[in-house]
Amino acid sequence: MALTYKEMKFSDVLNKYNKNTVYHDKIIQRRLGNWSVADKVDCLESYFRNLVSHPIVFADAAECLSWIQSNDKLNEDSKQYYRDRLGTGHRFVSLDGAHKLFDVIHGFVNGDYSYTGVIPCSSVKPGETPKSQRFENTFYKDLPLEYQMSFMNATTMTAVYEDLTAQELSVVFIKLQKGVPLNDQQVRRANRTKLTEWIMNLADNNSALWDRVLKGERGAQSLAGSGDEEFIAKMLLATVKTWSNTLAKKSNKNFNLRKCDLDQIYEAGIEIVPMFGCDSPYHAPEFERVARVFNLYSSVVSELFNTTGKTPKPLKLQSKAEQWMLWWAVEYIEENGLTIKDTNDLYKFVQSLIATLSAKSHKAFAIAIEKAEEGEVEAPVESNYFHRGLNLPHQATQRQQTKEKFIEAFEEALKTSTCVMMSYAAAK
């Protein structure tokens, strides 16, 4: 692989590598904008102290296209990928260091954050002692001119590939992250599969949901850690009834939600184009159904409010039991053509069912324990009981058992309840 290294001043980097010329491939890369101000300041200070050794890495779209046309002529997917990039004016594809480029360097010039720290002055005449100055919460525009020039004269290494196929972009990106390892979901999404794009679009179109179901700002279960996409992938595994081709023997009844299962559905789609073609493992009608359920689920959860205080506040749905039971309820509602009149009433209705079923389950388990101790029956397996199954959605058998018990109770309660949250034609 041809790789050209070059040390460049920030002024040249800003001019050559910007959002007009550099394509940030969201299918491969981590999201931009997730570095804290402290992270940005720390990185900028490291640049001023010449402590940043890793280059900002790109692929040259024009050179890569030229190489493919000469050496890999049958790779139409790669040709089209680079033609698309060049067609929108993007000469380069970002492979590593996008946060340093856009969030730190461009971000400081654009006034996205202020800097606290020392800046060495590069405007020193021959024979003069080098000087520096400390700044407190200072934006670029407010720096004295000579320190603005110091910023522009700071340097970073760049590295440009000129002979990568589109498929190799993912490989190189993953290898470049060894210093700051990708989490499992970030590795999955970096593989070139249309599933990544499908899930990413569904996540982006339901952005209001994520504050309600994900944890904190950092970690694998956060938005920054692609927790939104893993959330959708798990719901997909637990809901799709029919897969095709290499996944034809799989269904929601036998798919667990572990790393190997999630990896499998992504890997099955590598280099499959189009997504729902005859060779695809993905079954279009099922994916369309899951998308409808997910959109309704997102709408419901995004409208939930905690009304116990003086002022209603958005309700965070971080209990796994509530997340899953509400999902099954919404799936039932969507498939049976029901209409939700009040989302908060639906939520309370589901909560009540969970509490009732859990209480009955605990009681039944206690009775079974007593009978086992008396030698009447074998010792019960707790995971087969509703109250325990609530916490085992990652296990296919327990998840299916719990779902069936919940839906049975949900359906029966709808027929007899005076709850006015929905109008429906009772399931027959």
Q: What is the pTM assigned to this prediction?
A: 0.68
The residue among 243 and 344 whose pLDDT is bigger is: 243
How far apart, in whole angstroms, are the C-alpha atoms of residue 93 and residue 107? 19
- For 154, 188, 196, the CA distances from 260, given in Å and listed in that order, are 45, 11, 16
Residues 6+ apart with CB under 8 A from 338: 332, 422, 423, 424, 425
Q: How many helices (H) and strands (E) does the chain have?
A: 18, 11
Could you report the per-residue pLDDT of 132-173, keeping only the tens digit for each? 899 999 999 999 999 999 999 999 999 999 999 998 998 888
Q: What is the pLDDT of residue 341?
A: 84
Is the pLDDT score of 223 beyond 60?
A: yes
- What value does the mean pLDDT take over residues 203-226? 81
With cut-offs at 50, 70 and 90, classify the pLDDT of residue 127: low
Query: What's the chain's average pLDDT?
Result: 89
Least confident of 5-19, 89-103, 143-157, 210-224: 210-224
**% of the chain at pLDDT higher than 90:** 68
- CB-side neighbour CA atoms (13 Å) of 67: 16
Phi then psi dihedrals of residue 333, to 5 deg? -60, -45
How far apart, in whole angstroms, are the C-alpha atoms of residue 162 and residue 58? 9
Neighbour tally for 313: CB within 10 Å: 11
How far apart, in whole angstroms, are the C-alpha atoms of residue 422 and residue 411? 13
Is the pLDDT score of 95 beyond 90?
A: yes
Phi then psi dihedrals of residue 282, to 5 deg? -95, 130
Could you report the per-residue pLDDT of 386-398, keeping only the tens digit for each? 999 999 999 999 9
Question: For the chain, what's the residue count?
Answer: 428
Least confident of 26-30, 165-169, 256-260: 26-30
How far apart, in whole angstroms, are the C-alpha atoms of residue 308 and residue 321? 21
**Among the listed residues 154, 163, 152, 141, the one whose alpha carbon sits nearest the alpha carbon of residue 64:** 163
